[in-house]
Structure 1
Amino acid sequence: MILIVLSTLLILSGVLAGCSSSSVPTDNNEKVTINVWGMGEEAKSLPKIAEEFKNQNPNIDVKVQAIPWDQAHDKLLTAVASKSGPDVVQMGTTWIPEFAFANALMDLKPYMNQYPEFNENNFYPGSVETAKYEDKVVGVPWYIDTRVLYYRTDLLKQVGYNEAPKTWDELKDAAKKLSQRGNNKYGISIDTKEQSLAFMFARQNGSKLFDENNKPLFNQKEFVGAVEYLNGFFKDGSAPIDLGIDIVQAFRGDGILPMFISGPWMVKIINDQAPELKGKWSTAVLPAKENNMSVLGGSNLSVFQYTKNKDAALKFVAFMSKPETQLKWMEMTNSLPAAKEAWNDKALQDDPLYKTFGQQMENARSMPVIKQFEEIAQTFLSSFEKIYRGGADVQKEMDEFNKKAEGILK
């Protein structure tokens, strides 16, 4: 099915390449309407911030459509096939390779001088990487997320840690000691459905994931060592396999799970759902092995190749890329800004829980920008389950996974 879809997109790419974008002037009194597609719950706030753009650009009307994430991919494929859809679209960072491969996203390189907001120096290097495909710039970072360590400061102090664990060895030691507090107590949550987790730890262990010829390195010692490390939390009882309760509920009270790795959205959730924990928990950058590389996610804004309103679409993306706009967006949705300058804002600098994410962003990278990576990552989850649940040999399972990845890449 994936090969069929990609083949279809390849055919379409030739069609799209032949369609010149007839840009409608926005400097005269002629009214222009651009269609913007946003994804998920936060997109419901887009019309409000679009009003500010319209106040500054009275000749440009903005029509926003909020699309659920679970419907967005298919809807985008349909838009590419029909060559009728949005002028501006929110792109999940892992979707960029697929749609850029089909030449469905406009290359923004020719407009860098005209729109200084697109300058890659405005953003963290890892975030810039998510918006590139081959030699093209096919998006601008909009909002970001990365993973950090959440931990109960009070409970870690009880087992001898006045600060968050800073190394793999310390994380392992702290988790083991926390799990020895009594029955049904654990040290850390290892999310077995988080497809980027093992790849993130593998990078921390020195793995490049792929060699210079794009061949997978998943059966090499760096990757295998990371999988063994993660599996070790299940083997020694520091992490549960199937706990069956919400992470916030497990985090509060006696702290069934006093440590977990997650993104910035959890700050507000904990503050809202567990206010009694104020002063008893914090966030920290990830513990390090060779490095403490985290995964970088979030969303970019792209201009569709076949837009008939190129100038207006580019103006809207430039507006959304401004630090002040991204800070307003953060106030509305709690989405963290991609623009580095925005991180100097008092609201982020004075909140240690959020400041951690800015610090971690200095050492965060997206998952590999190859169109097959989503399938490879899903295949890994199946392989990992055989290890932590079935007790399969890690090296043998990673040998098999590496062969499957090679097949997916062909």
Structure 2
Amino acid sequence: MARPRRRLLLAASLATVCALTASACSATGGAGSAGDGKGTIEFWSMPYWVGQDDKVKALVDEFNASQGEVTVDLTQLEWKDGREKIKQAMAAGKGPDVWLMNNGLELDYLKAGSLAPLDELGYTQNDTGAFLDLAKVNEYEGKLYGAPLYFDVSVLVYRTDVLKQYGYDKPPATWEELKSTASAITKKSAADGDKVSGWQFKGMDDHVNAINSTWESFLCQAGGSLTSSDYTKSTQNSQAGRTAMEYMKSFYTDKISPVGTSALNGFIDGKVAMFSFFQSVIANVEAGGEKTKDKWAVAPMPEGPESGCSMVGGHSLVASAQSQDLKAAGTFMKWLASPERSAEYMDFKGIFPYDTAKVDLTVRETYEKKIQSDPNWEAIVEQLHRNSPDLLLQDRHGWATRWEAQKASVVAGVGGQVPVDEALTSIDEQVGKTLSTEQ
């Protein structure tokens, strides 16, 4: 399965835990030591290489064999509780030197001063200047704290064979086209006696956590925001929010999408014609073997009333401000999050986080070969350039509460269990309480 972008962390914020554990965190950061760059560091990671859980260990082994000054000890964690284990360890003063974190980073760590800024890890302006502008999702109070390994963006995944069977030679480009195409496929296939759902929202089905990235993409396309510009208010109960949720709900009230059908599994079986999710879901589609081989493609998201933006995800490396060898931690981070390695992550469709005009020629050539080897990259790159850091920077504030609230309220609102206004109000009320404690 493609990995969900976030999991609920511990109920208590890291800042609160740090206040109770004097040795765990620094209020301002910088309690670590630059070190001599020669020693052993601890790296804790979930298996971010989609589809191959052993690849992270292989990369660490490769780094260790490549030089003799820094040794990395890897602790492999599971996605179901890895983030929580890191947070607990950090609060107890026993956390790793370097670990994996979602792009956008987590506000608790940033506010507690638990992360070392990249400039203290040996990154120069030339190093950080080579990142895409989207790397600003890892900024906080003017400093960059996360080195992106790769980005994710939500895209449209569609069955070329199903669309062609029902008279469509290209994917829908707008909300109106998406709904009309999906409706026609659902109705015509039912009349033929072999019903195919034209569309399914991922998150209303096999993996409810996915409703967060799905919902936030459609909210963005309607011109909505998660918070006010100063991050102090939750702003989903807006005209844009109502437009987005009513649109999503209409797929169920008009019986285009069936409640309970898995978007991914249905797609692999040829029973769902289209769905949207992060481009890394391609690895799961390809795992369908003969069921999906040469029968699908990727397109940019259909544009909504205001834009064709989508949710941004992916992962970065961060380092502890309490590390006793920041130089060694930086050496490893610069290797694992380097342009050379990020070009390798394109093998599981991780989006290259660097400006190709600012990397070595050999890396640029590798990048170009990978882009040319798969026609789906054109759509993924187009979707990438439609996005800004704004949505993910908003999502950083109150995200644990938001992602739980949205899982309940968006599903209920879209599924018709509660009125749309009630669903949106519930999200704003719950998230608003969390935002008020962040001030």
TM-score when normalising by structure 1: 0.88
The amino acid of 1:57's aligned partner reads: Q
State the SS of the aligned residue for 2:405: helix
Which residue of the partner structure matches residue 91 of structure 2? 81
Question: Of the candidates 39, 46, 55, which is equivalent to residue 46 of structure 2?
Answer: 39
Query: For residues 2 and 237 of structure 1, do their structure 2 counterparts lie closer, same or farther at Cα, with a shift above 3 Å needed?
Result: same
State the SS of the aligned residue for 1:196: helix
Structure 1 CA distance for aligned equivalents of residues 87 and 121 of structure 2: 26
State the SS of the aligned residue for 1:408: helix
State the Cα distance separating 1:163 from its structure 2 match.
1.0
Residues 268-347 of structure 1 correspond to what in structure 2 (within 5 A)?
A: 268-289=283-304, 290-331=306-347, 335-341=350-356, 344-347=367-370
Query: For residues 320 and 111 of structure 1, do their structure 2 counterparts lie closer, same or farther at Cα, with a shift above 3 Å needed?
Result: same
Question: Of the candidates 186, 201, 215, which is equivalent to residue 218 of structure 2?
Answer: 201
Structure 2 CA distance for aligned equivalents of residues 75 and 285 of structure 1: 36
Structure 2 CA distance for aligned equivalents of residues 150 and 220 of structure 1: 29
Which residue of the partner structure matches residue 356 of structure 1? 379
Please tell me the root mean square deviation across aligned C-alpha atoms, in Å: 2.6
State the Cα distance separating 1:176 from its structure 2 match.
0.6
Which residue of the partner structure matches residue 372 of structure 1? 398
State the Cα distance separating 1:315 from its structure 2 match.
1.2
Which residue of the partner structure matches residue 249 of structure 2? 231
Structure 1 CA distance for aligned equivalents of residues 353 and 123 of structure 2: 20
Query: For residues 227 and 278 of structure 1, do their structure 2 counterparts lie closer, same or farther at Cα, with a shift above 3 Å needed?
Result: same
Structure 1 CA distance for aligned equivalents of residues 416 and 431 of structure 2: 21
Residues 46-85 of structure 1 correspond to what in structure 2 (within 5 A)?
A: 46-85=56-95
What per-residue deviation string (whole Å, max 9, x for no partner) do you get for residues 321-357 of structure 1? 32112223444x6544323436733112330123422
List runs of 5+ in structure 2 lacking aligned partners. 1-9, 357-362
State the SS of the aligned residue for 1:106: coil
- Tell me if 1:141 matches 2:141: no
Which residue of the partner structure matches residue 8 of structure 1? 17
The amino acid of 1:53's aligned partner reads: F
Structure 2 CA distance for aligned equivalents of residues 288 and 90 of structure 1: 32
What per-residue deviation string (whole Å, max 9, x for no partner) do you get for residues 263-314 of structure 1? 2333233223233533321100101021111111111101111111111111
With 278-287 and 128-137 compared, the bigger mean Cα shift is at 128-137
Structure 2 CA distance for aligned equivalents of residues 102 and 162 of structure 1: 53
What per-residue deviation string (whole Å, max 9, x for no partner) do you get for residues 136-169 of structure 1? 3111101222111111122223334211100110
Structure 2 CA distance for aligned equivalents of residues 150 and 99 of structure 1: 35
The amino acid of 1:124's aligned partner reads: L
What per-residue deviation string (whole Å, max 9, x for no partner) do you get for residues 54-109 of structure 1? 34431111111111122222221222223232111111236522211221111124
Which residue of the partner structure matches residue 177 of structure 2? 170
Query: For residues 99 and 44 of structure 1, do their structure 2 counterparts lie closer, same or farther at Cα, with a shift above 3 Å needed?
Result: farther
Which residue of the partner structure matches residue 435 of structure 2? 409
State the Cα distance separating 1:24 from its structure 2 match.
2.4
Structure 1 CA distance for aligned equivalents of residues 318 and 180 of structure 2: 44
Which residue of the partner structure matches residue 23 of structure 1? 34
Query: For residues 407 and 268 of structure 1, do their structure 2 counterparts lie closer, same or farther at Cα, with a shift above 3 Å needed?
Result: closer
Query: For residues 403 and 397 of structure 1, do their structure 2 counterparts lie closer, same or farther at Cα, with a shift above 3 Å needed?
Result: same
State the SS of the aligned residue for 2:311: strand
Query: For residues 387 and 328 of structure 1, do their structure 2 counterparts lie closer, same or farther at Cα, with a shift above 3 Å needed?
Result: closer
Structure 1 CA distance for aligned equivalents of residues 216 and 268 of structure 2: 29
The amino acid of 1:232's aligned partner reads: S
What per-residue deviation string (whole Å, max 9, x for no partner) do you get for residues 209-246 of structure 1? 32223222211101111011111111111111112x57
List runs of 5+ in structure 1 lacking aligned partners. none
Sequence identity percentage: 23
TM-score when normalising by structure 2: 0.82
State the Cα distance separating 1:200 from its structure 2 match.
1.4
